[in-house]
Chain A
């Protein structure tokens, strides 16, 4: 792959009538990376994806995929992309196998060995009618149809919807293999731990605006965590208040609660002087991550 960006959007803006979808989004997804597109529901993730695939047309700005214009070359782009929609709806009146056969024919044929291997990995019962399938089983079919032609780029909108943890794990493995094979993944999600787990870089979108694009390491170093440390006996508060990045310290009944920005290292080392019974960490919610970015922006001013 020679291009320096698989997906590039410049000033991509979409209004639905007067309602804002996305506002001046500038994105660059590099070849061979797993890019996470993170944001709460209604932030504009799906709008961005639909524009890339030419289902909807930008109000302003433009997008290229493989250096091809999303509007002029949509058929060629579709040929090289595997796509999973967010609100998955499949033809109910056929079996999973027939659905894959049909979609495969639209793409000019399939490697059934690979399809069957995927179905086995995801424990997907292909001969069953789609009508009776649970949400999770439909989602598996959706994943298989996105991966089955081994596309150069995968665009996955909330791919783990309804999957049980075992299958989710299998899916994360598949993502890693895809990346190792040099292919690119663009994945939207509203679940932070998922994005942290599988992505190389993350774009955070909120109310139609791309707030930031970071590597996972940077994101984590900015991240805010709520910690509870249970000690065997009471501990003096002054041993902890001086630790950089530790805020909102409170000690009650041998339990210290605090908020930590960035690395946990100093706090853990300070705690090690005492007998620790348990450490409970609360993953920061998406909203908390956003707040750190907004606070950061405000401090800078």
Chain B
């Protein structure tokens, strides 16, 4: 695990990935375990249907039609908020820490004193971000898959994978933003704050956009719009929305390299 920077960074993340993965699986199991009970309580569904549409929009459940169906239940309980949130918190933390954290700790100095070009540091660390996100997504999906099969829940494992993929992508947008800010300025707290703050703002931009007509035309600016709108768990991936999320991530990554190569390192 100490052969190169990529593996070493991944090695540093192994415990973190394991614990976050266990958390995600735990959440999947808990939510799935409640489903059979919810399914047999039509009153819950009736109650939720009576909630003001605005409130549902605000929490990205505007498309919620049938809470007692597996798609409705898991969309509302997991995919509308918790799964992207957890992935996002992990990713933004890692992204902000990747360059800026090492710089603030002072360990970047003797790393860069080795015959390693700076772009390579950026590429390797970003690679670890992608791999960690992928591993977490797969752990969550695997946990869900076991529950779906074990509890005989009527949910497509493919759709589940697609929805998880979408949550990973929206989390990656903000993670790579935090990563890029760390490359530009080397300030971990600032990177985390800006990326996290923008995540909250754009989450509510999308939610409010569903109920406030003045904001409706700006929803497309929110990465969450491109994540929530296609209702992936029901309909599968929507390529154009996915491309927007991937595109943003690629742009942030592409800016990271020259930004880090050009500036002074605080060490």
List B residues 251-267 near A (Cβ within 8 Å): 264-265, 267
Contact of A55 with B267 in the complex, beta carbons under 8 Å: yes
Contact A87-B114, Cβ < 8 Å, known A55-B264, A105-B4: no
Contact of A105 with B113 in the complex, beta carbons under 8 Å: no
Among A85, A93, A107, the residue within 8 A (CB) of B109 is A85
Interface size class of B (residues with CB under 8 A): 20 to 34
Q: Complex Cα distance A236/B3, Å? A: 74
Contact of A93 with B12 in the complex, beta carbons under 8 Å: yes
Q: Which residues of A contact B109 (CB under 8 A)?
A: 55, 85, 89
Closest to B265 in A: A55
List B residues 24-51 near A (Cβ within 8 Å): none
Q: Complex Cα distance A101/B8, Å? A: 11
Contact A145-B2, Cβ < 8 Å, known A57-B264, A75-B115: no
Contact of A83 with B110 in the complex, beta carbons under 8 Å: yes
A56 interface hit (Cβ, 8 Å): yes
Contact of B107 with A90 in the complex, beta carbons under 8 Å: yes
Contact of A106 with B4 in the complex, beta carbons under 8 Å: yes
Contact of B110 with A106 in the complex, beta carbons under 8 Å: no
Q: Complex Cα distance A78/B267, Å? A: 16
Closest to B104 in A: A89
If over half of B's interface residues share one DSSP class (helix, strand or loop), that class is named, otherwise mixed; here it is loop
B189 interface hit (Cβ, 8 Å): no
List A residues 68-116 near B (Cβ within 8 Å): 74-76, 78-79, 81, 83-85, 87-91, 93, 98, 101-103, 105-107
Q: Which residues of A contact B267 (CB under 8 A)?
A: 50, 55, 85
List B residues 82-113 near A (Cβ within 8 Å): 105-107, 109-113
B117 interface hit (Cβ, 8 Å): yes
Contact of B115 with A55 in the complex, beta carbons under 8 Å: no
Q: Complex Cα distance A102/B114, Å? A: 11
Q: Which residues of A contact B5 (CB under 8 A)?
A: 106
Closest to A55 in B: B265
Q: Which residues of B contact A85 (CB under 8 A)?
A: 106, 109-110, 113, 267
Q: Complex Cα distance A98/B8, Å? A: 10
Please report the number of residue pairs spanning A and B whose Cβ atoms sit closer than 8 angstroms: 63
Contact A103-B12, Cβ < 8 Å, known A56-B264, A56-B265, A87-B106: no
Q: Which residues of B contact A105 (CB under 8 A)?
A: 2-4
Contact of A53 with B113 in the complex, beta carbons under 8 Å: yes
Contact of B107 with A78 in the complex, beta carbons under 8 Å: no
List B residues 116-150 near A (Cβ within 8 Å): 116-117
Q: Complex Cα distance A68/B2, Å? A: 30
Closest to A104 in B: B2
Contact of B106 with A78 in the complex, beta carbons under 8 Å: no
Contact of A102 with B116 in the complex, beta carbons under 8 Å: no
Binary contact readout B229-267 vs A (1 if CB under 8 angstroms, 0 otherwise): 000000000000000000000000000000000001101
Q: Complex Cα distance A78/B110, Å? A: 10
Q: Complex Cα distance A187/B109, Å? A: 17
Q: Complex Cα distance A106/B116, Å? A: 7
Q: Which residues of A contact B265 (CB under 8 A)?
A: 50, 55-56
Contact of A89 with B106 in the complex, beta carbons under 8 Å: yes
Binary contact readout A104-142 vs B (1 if CB under 8 angstroms, 0 otherwise): 011100000000000000000000000000000000001
Given A88-B106, A106-B116, 9 more A-B residue pairs with CB atoms under 8 Å apart are: A50-B265, A56-B265, A74-B117, A88-B110, A89-B109, A105-B2, A106-B5, A107-B114, A145-B110
21 interchain pairs (CB within 8 A)? A50-B265, A55-B109, A55-B265, A75-B117, A78-B112, A78-B114, A78-B115, A79-B115, A83-B110, A83-B113, A85-B106, A88-B110, A89-B107, A90-B110, A91-B12, A101-B2, A103-B114, A105-B4, A106-B4, A107-B115, A145-B110
Closest 8 CB pairs of A and B: A89-B106, A79-B115, A56-B264, A83-B113, A102-B2, A106-B114, A55-B265, A78-B115
Instruction: Please report B residues at the A interface, Cβ cutoff 8 Å.
Output: 2-5, 8, 12, 105-107, 109-117, 264-265, 267
